[in-house]
Chains A and B, each alone.
Chain A
Amino acid sequence: MFKFTQSNSLVSRQNQDKLLHGAIWAAAGITILFLLWVVWHILSNGLSHVSWEFITGAYTRIGEASGIWAMIVSTVYMVLLSLAFAAPIGIMTAIYLTEYAKPGSKFVQVIRFCTESLAGIPSIVYGLFGMTFFVTTLGLGFSILSGALTLAMLILPVIIRTTEEALMAVPMSYREGGYALGSSKIYTIWRLILPSALPGIVTSVILSTGRVIGESAPVFLTAGMVTQIPDSVLDSGRTLTVHLYKLTQELFTQHEWDQAYATATILIVLVLALNLATKVIATRLNKSS
């Protein structure tokens, strides 16, 4: 009797193992299937509508010749400007935290806590804040500048954290070597530590580029939706993601559908390119170390 139950439980355990094994494969399959489905559906419907005219053309609400050049320009402005604010401040904060501050001091804890809180705030709250503070209180209006300042706050934690990791990965012996040769602290940081942390810093910048391109809610609340090519950073502009959102609000004609698919295709291609860039840098990094 005892033997029977034992062998019985053994068999059921084997079945259980098979079942769980199957569940793991199935789950991985579902994940991959969804990814391929999203990407394939967008690309297969959108690629044929991406043309030189579509990319470089002016936007018109009616008519067949409608392009996204103004949105591309706005997106590029937004990326460059928000990085111009966030990258130097983020990198220098990381330098302060790793090279200057006493590790574990109260002050460092406060900065860490604030950076983490900043990363936890939902992006729509940034939009809410940006609209009242930059657009209204500072009087910058719906502009690329208002949007870029808002997004700069949003990507600051990404840059700080990734740069900090890159700086901490630089071996202590570099610093010791620098000081032993009589270099000053700032010279050691500038000539020895920053160059060897450069791939990590570039990665942090690429990651935040992805964030800026991908955001939409805080962008339309601060930079507006005007479809003109912005003349200056004080002009309103519509980024690619905001454009896709607006297009989906008015999907009536086939032409509008095609435009939405083509815009989504451009966004996916951009994400692919950024991913690839990070990979290339990571491989270089592994080779050099």
Chain B
Amino acid sequence: MNTATKVQSQGLQLAQKKAMDIKEIFFHGLFLCCAMVGVLSVSTIGWFVFNEGLPAFKEAGVTEFVTGKEWLPPALYGILPMIVASMISTAGAVIIGVPIAILTAVFLAEIAPKWLADLVRPAVELLAGIPSVVYGFFGLVIIVPAIETIFNIPAGNTILAGIIVLAIMILPTVITISETSIRALPSVYKEGALALGASHIYSIFKVLIPAAKSGIFTGVALGVARAIGETMAIIMVMGNAPAMPGSLLEPARTLTANIAMEMSYATGIHSSALYATGIVLLVFIVLLNGSLLYLNRKRAY
């Protein structure tokens, strides 16, 4: 072989390598650009929500906005009734839903025979997939009339109805994550407890649940996030009156409902006030995620 062809073939190889490199660089860049879309989305949403919400804060004052009891656009912008309604309905849903969910998770992970667990688990997954308007519709036709009959009141569209619907809606989230975290525990935990003479139930409540605590907390936090963020089901069953609720048997409007009900016709400061409502909602979510992060970090050390 003479030198000329050798050099030529080397050059060809180099050219091929270069073409491949360009292709590699192109795809690397493409994937990188896609990865930036998520970052861009969050920053755009954040920027928009704060930018649009600030005029309302300036106009009404942050303290007055958050502690004001009257919502009468375009005159008064106070969202305390909505904050209270969101907190009560979420807390109520957690109080009712979380114990049921954790016990159901224990049932699936520890108590149920395999065939039964294999039947119940897909059912719970189905519960997670049902659209929230369907839950709202169910609440409207079953729970609202039931409250009217039981408490003998003219309208069953109350916080209580919202609490019950939300309690059902957070079940699948809390169950699935709690079950996974109980199942993920090393088997020696249970074996050890049983070997020490503890009964199965005793080892579940004194060993397994405490050990799976951080996972269960994560499930509960996600359930709380779902309850705070839920909009349509709440609008359909809670009556939506923007006044401070006096009891569980009164109508109320949550932060999310406030946005959804008025956004389609709001303009100017009114629209800005709805963005400010969104900021308050986001603050709740950030606090929730922050506390979760704190709890999980504490456990890791």
Contact = CB atoms under 8 A, between A and B. Distances in A.
Interface stretch (A17-25, A58-66, A171-179): A17-25
Nearest to A125: B278
B41 interface: yes
Interface in B216-235: 225, 228-229, 231-232, 235
A115 interface: yes
Contacts of B76: none
B72 to A, nearest CB: 21
B35 A35 contact: no
A213 interface: yes
Interface string A225-253: 00000000000000001101100100100
Interface in A251-269: 251, 260, 264, 267-268
B229 A122 contact: yes
Contacts, number: 237
B181 interface: no
Interface string B89-108: 00000000001111110111
A193 interface: no
A80 interface: no
Contacts of A114: 38-39, 41-43
Interface in A145-195: 153, 156-157, 160, 184-186
Interface in B281-301: 281-282, 285, 289
Nearest to B138: A38
The number of chain B residues touching the other chain, given as a range, is 35 or more
A28 B34 contact: no
A27 B41 CA distance: 41
Given A27-B100, A27-B104, A274-B129, A96 B32 contact: yes
Given A24-B106, A89-B34, A248 B137 contact: yes
Interface string B196-212: 00011110110000000
Contact of B231 (A89, A117, A124): A124
B111 A32 contact: no
Contacts of A34: 127, 168, 171
Nearest to B258: A124
B132 interface: yes
B199 A248 contact: no
Interface stretch (A1-9, A47-55, A197-205, A214-222): A214-222
Interface stretch (B1-9, B45-53, B148-156, B187-195): B45-53
Contact of A27 (B99, B140, B202): B99
B129 A214 contact: yes
Interface stretch (B60-68, B77-85, B117-125, B243-251): B117-125
Contacts of B289: 116, 120
A40 to B, nearest CB: 11
13 contacts: A17-B200, A27-B100, A28-B120, A39-B126, A42-B137, A92-B30, A100-B28, A101-B35, A114-B39, A120-B289, A121-B45, A129-B49, A260-B137
A92 B27 CA distance: 10
Contacts of A251: 140
Contacts of B99: 27
Interface in B126-163: 126-127, 129-138, 140-142
Contacts of A123: 229, 231
Contacts of A268: 130, 134
Contacts of A82: none
Nearest to A107: B35
A257 B60 CA distance: 43
B15 interface: no
A93 B103 contact: no
A95 interface: yes
B131 to A, nearest CB: 4
A131 interface: yes
Q: Top 7 closest A-B pairs, CB basis?
A: A122-B229, A27-B103, A214-B131, A96-B31, A92-B34, A28-B107, A217-B231
B137 A216 contact: no
A38 B168 contact: yes
A119 B235 CA distance: 22
Given A20-B205, A92-B30, A110-B39, A129 B130 contact: no
A285 interface: no
A160 B101 CA distance: 28
Contact of B264 (A121, A153, A221): A221
B42 A279 contact: no
Contacts of A88: 34
Nearest to A154: B41
Contacts of A27: 99-104, 107
A31 B175 contact: yes
A30 interface: yes
A122 B228 contact: yes
A197 to B, nearest CB: 15
B232 A216 contact: yes
B252 interface: no
Interface in A85-106: 88-90, 92-93, 95-97, 99-101
B57 interface: no
A120 B225 contact: yes
A17 B204 CA distance: 10
Contacts of A11: none
A271 B123 CA distance: 12
